[in-house]
Chains A and B, each alone.
Chain A
Amino acid sequence: RKEVEQDPGPFNVPEGATVAFNCTYSNSASQSFFWYRQDCRKEPKLLMSVYSSGNEDGRFTAQLNRASQYISLLIRDSKLSDSATYLCVVTLGTGGFKTIFGAGTRLFVKA
């Protein structure tokens, strides 16, 4: 079983659609959780951190369920510019600090 698993994708959606990405992680000792966005042939960029209380940033909402070891990202009113690969990222411990990336889910938003 992979340490971080994401929806395999790709997702093809029209502009304005709502898209949900799911992610599960296997290590219950995981401490920090993030969603990154990666455009083609570019480095990943932090989209948002994920907290147990849930957090929202404009059209983006992230949720964490520690009991289920599940993370989600919701994009509302999707734009063409949202087309990218979304990476679920989990870190283990603040001391050892190992970062594990999910394989990513590719999103295509079409006009």
Chain B
Amino acid sequence: GAVVSQHPSWVICKSGTSVKIECRSLDFQATTMFWYRQFPKQSLMLMATSNEGSKATYEQGVEKDKFLINHASLTLSTLTVTSAHPEDSSFYICSARGLTATDPSYNEQFFGPGTRLTVL
């Protein structure tokens, strides 16, 4: 199947700093990437949908000024957690889907390995 990578896999930072997480589709082009957050023992919660070349669509309750998303190319989307606080500590996972309705990966989301963020 298609491969999605995330970097970094884990990060520890001080409260108030900003953290950037990269999500890359390695062997396919993805018009759409999704960013999820997962707290311990809870399911994935969609934060935002990132479309290449346009503004991200944020889910209700997710602050767009705090979670900055940039999807500059068909293979890269970034999530920046600005002024991170301990309550932002979580497992952040991205996923990507293929380019067109005829693309075999279109209706399947391929997940990155996740980034574990710990804010002290």
Contact = CB atoms under 8 A, between A and B. Distances in A.
B107 A94 contact: yes
Interface of A: 32, 34, 41-46, 49, 87, 91, 94, 97-104
Interface in B48-101: 49, 91, 93, 97, 101
B44 A46 contact: no
A108 B116 CA distance: 24
Given A94-B101, A97-B32, A97-B97, A45 B111 contact: yes
Contact of B93 (A43, A46, A100): A43
Interface of B: 1, 32, 34, 42-46, 49, 91, 93, 97, 101, 106-109, 111-114, 116
Nearest to A45: B111
Contacts of B107: 32, 91, 94
Contacts of A101: 43-46
Contact of A41 (B34, B42, B91, B101): B91
Contacts of B116: 41
Contacts of A46: 1, 108
Given A43-B112, A45-B111, A99 B43 contact: no
Contacts of B108: 34, 46, 49
B43 A43 contact: no
B34 to A, nearest CB: 7
12 contacts: A41-B91, A41-B116, A42-B113, A43-B111, A43-B112, A43-B114, A45-B111, A87-B44, A97-B97, A98-B46, A98-B49, A101-B44
A75 to B, nearest CB: 20
